[in-house]
Copies of this chain bind each other. A is one copy, B any other.
Amino acid sequence: MPEASVRELTDIPLERLGDEMLELMRTLYPICRSLTGNGVRETLRIVGEVIPLSVTEVPTGTPIFDWTVPREWNVSDAWIADANGARVVDFQESNLHVVGYSTPVRARMTGSELEERLHSLPEHPDWIPARTAYWANTWGFCVNESQRRAIRPDETYDVCIDSRLEDGHLTYAESLLAGETNDEVLLSTYVCHPSLCNDNLSGIAVLAFLGRRLLELGNLRYTYRLLFSPGTVGPLTWLSLNLDRLDRVKHGLVLSCLGDPGPVRYKRSRRGAAEVDRAAEHVLRSSRADALIEDFVPWGGDERQFCSPGFDLPVGALTRTPHGLFPEYHTSADDFHLVRAESLADSLAATLEIVAVLERNDAYVNRAPYGEPQLGRRGLYHEISAGAPRAEDSFQRALLWALNLSDGSHSLLDIANRAKIAFHTVADAAEALFDAELLERVDQ
């Protein structure tokens, strides 16, 4: 059993890793990603330099449960130019300017005609919104308010969206880190958003560096599967191609929006009290006073797919401020002003802490269950006794709890929660008792 390496899991250089994650995000930021296309491929290629990835390409038209893999979308340029040929809106300045999955356009039209194709944010006049029309067969531009006002109703404009929407592939990538068992921990994030930092270059960066850390250590109990895929259809595609292996997924986390300065937030799986839910809650409550624990709701991120009633997988979601709850969400203001190296590092640390609990969460049976065994002769209790209660010493209390509750029906996490002692203190106590041959491990 690899306790040693588990303890190292969370022993990481936070400051350096925060900076490295931010650097990865800066590299990925300019790329124009969408549900499909070369932006996703380029993103996965770069992430693959942090952690080895295996890429899957699924052809357009492949049926995916209630869905179908869409046509592949690529865009090389787009603009709105005035009568003088001056570009008043230019994709080269920000890939948010084009509504995602816009059909190709080459047209001349008046400002009035253009009006219904423009999306802006009157309440945030300087920001460009991010919009998509994946399944709609339409096109449009996203602009800030001054760009919108600059387009005069009576003037004529040249409009170009140099996009291709054609049969191709949906692209996703996995990294499979084999452990002692085939039981899997599924860690998933989405790679379909264009130049948006917190949502979700932060999730990509945290997942990539999490994988790198797990790979460095090796020797873990679980097999870890990291999934980088476009939102919604990505997980659905992966699920449809792995139906016969889903019973291997013992725990899972969807990671996203992990770079902003808000507190860490855990959203429970649909099951509500799955082991990952209880591990995450234990870790966050015992280490981060401001952490938020929330019940499952059927909207949000890709946990919606894993937690749909047909799958009902034990997959929770870890974020800082999530989808829709920060004002910069899905706008050009979700940039590097919003994210921080410390937040990224803390998110990575929290995820590793949850993983560490899952790795060590064994159940034991007390081999000397009739009365309290004689701890003194095993060096686990003072020779000269003041009779004092041992309640001040959490390791001593953890020893007694581990002995008392190790009846095969309580995991260490159950014991830690009942005892109100940090998980790793209880796990260390159980290890000492195991070494003293007072506990034996139960196959779970």
Q: Using CB atoms and an 8 Å cutoff, list the residues of chain A in contact with chain B.
A: 64-67, 99, 119, 129-136, 138, 140, 232, 235-236, 239-240, 270, 297-300, 304-305, 307-311, 323-325, 329-330, 366, 368-374, 376-377, 383-391, 397, 400-401, 403-407
Contacts and interface: CB of A to CB of B under 8 A. Distances in A.
Taking the full assembly, how many copies of this chain does it contain?
A: 3
Nearest to A368: B66
Chain A interface mostly helix, strand, loop or mixed? loop
Contacts of A403: 298, 308-309
A325 to B, nearest CB: 8
A387 B299 CA distance: 11
A384 B141 CA distance: 12
Nearest to A410: B309
Contact of A135 (B329, B383, B386): B383
A220 to B, nearest CB: 29
B383 A299 contact: no
A88 to B, nearest CB: 21
A366 B135 contact: no
Which of A136, A304, A370 is the most central at the interface, judged by chain B CB atoms within 10 Å of its CB?
A370
A401 B309 CA distance: 11
Contacts of A390: 299
A372 B308 contact: yes
Given A131-B385, A298-B401, A389-B300, A370 B324 contact: no
Given A130-B387, A304-B372, A311-B370, 18 more contacts: A66-B368, A99-B384, A119-B384, A130-B386, A131-B384, A132-B387, A135-B383, A136-B383, A138-B384, A140-B384, A297-B401, A305-B371, A308-B366, A308-B369, A308-B370, A308-B403, A323-B387, A330-B388
A391 B383 CA distance: 61
A368 B305 CA distance: 12
A297 B398 CA distance: 11
A403 to B, nearest CB: 7
Given A131-B385, A309-B404, A329-B388, A299 B397 contact: yes
A147 to B, nearest CB: 18
A52 B397 CA distance: 39
A353 to B, nearest CB: 26
A114 to B, nearest CB: 16
Nearest to A400: B298
A236 B371 contact: yes
B383 A239 contact: no
A249 to B, nearest CB: 14
12 contacts: A65-B368, A67-B371, A132-B387, A135-B383, A236-B370, A297-B391, A297-B401, A299-B389, A308-B366, A309-B366, A310-B371, A325-B389
A431 to B, nearest CB: 18
B372 A309 contact: no
A297 B403 CA distance: 12
Contact of A66 (B140, B270, B371): B371
A383 B134 CA distance: 8
A308 B371 contact: yes
